[in-house]
Amino acid sequence: MEVIIRETYDEMSQVAARMISDQLLRKPNSVLGLATGSTPIAVYRELVRLHREEGLDFSQIKTFNLDEYLGLAPTHPQSYRYFMNNHLFDHVNIPRGNIRFPYGHAHAVETFCEWYEAEIERCGGIDIQLLGVGTDGHIAFNEPGSSLGSRTRLKTLTEQTVRDNARFFDDIDQVPRFAITMGVGTILESKKICVLASGMGKADIVAQAIEGPVTASVTASALQLHRDVVVIVDADAACKLARADYYRWVHDQKSRLHQRDG
């Protein structure tokens, strides 16, 4: 795992946006895995800026979102599709037909999930997957105890996640209890993974995920098994990392190497 520590949320978001824009420049028809939550908002803002001011092209990409609440229509202001329209899709030139989302209705969830998995494969797999981390260590909606080999499926949210996400709803009773989510196994098949975490509230779980044991109790820890993961955190989220000095040192040494070679 490569761990990149930046002082502020804006700086860490810049690094992540650059990573995605480099991917699009290298491969204009990339398949992107996208995340919601408050953490990636500034990444999307920067991608929109790059599109408007530097012509970053989204016309050939395909996107797969990680998760969606069960039963929320795309027009519901708290649905993840609404979030993505609002923060990215409505502001860049991605064809609507290239956007895939794990919608679902309770009566046909299994068929839908099988289709979603097959569709990812049909598109050649996800080139780069953006991820946030829940305060209980979940990635997408893979709550503690999720199988590390899990695939796209229906998940029941934990009470902690319902409480965490209540801030986006008028009332905690309105927070859906179910979601369709890519599985840990699905996520681990992405070619590259970029994980973001910001703020003191994530410091403990980030340390457990990166430096603790690989365990289904913290599904983000499964990322340790992936060959190409970059974790980008701000100083607050990094403050419980035992090897923070080493990660900073690695970054300095690599910069020097690039300067020397460049």
The residues that touch ligand GLP, with contacts defined as CB under 6 A, are 35-39, 66-67, 132-134, 140-141, 161, 165
Smaller CB distance to ligand GLP: residue 13 or 165?
A: 165
Question: Phi and psi for 25 in degrees, rounded to 5?
Answer: -70, -40
Specify whether the CB–CB gap between 153 and 113 falls below 8 A: yes
Smaller CB distance to ligand GLP: residue 56 or 175?
A: 175
**Shortest gap between Cβ of 156 and ligand GLP (angstroms)?**
13
**Shortest gap between Cβ of 132 and ligand GLP (angstroms)?**
3
| DSSP reduced 3-state for 180 | strand
| DSSP reduced 3-state for 128 | strand
**Shortest gap between Cβ of 100 and ligand GLP (angstroms)?**
16
Residue (of 233, 226, 236, 224) closest to 251 by Cα position? 233
Sign of the CA dihedral running 131, 135, 138, 141? negative
Sign of the CA dihedral running 156, 159, 164, 167? positive
Smaller CB distance to ligand GLP: residue 5 or 197?
A: 197
For residue 203, what are the contacts with CB-CB under 8 A and spacing of at least 6? 236, 237, 238, 239, 240
Smaller CB distance to ligand GLP: residue 165 or 190?
A: 165
| DSSP reduced 3-state for 112 | helix
Smaller CB distance to ligand GLP: residue 60 or 224?
A: 224
Residue (of 116, 186, 140) closest to 36 by Cα position? 140
Tokens read off for 142: 């893979």
Positions marked active-site: 67, 136, 138, 143
**Shortest gap between Cβ of 101 and ligand GLP (angstroms)?**
13
Q: What CA–CA distance (Å, rounded) separates 130 from 212?
A: 21
Name the one residue in this structure whose structure tokens are 């929109």.
48
**Shortest gap between Cβ of 258 and ligand GLP (angstroms)?**
30
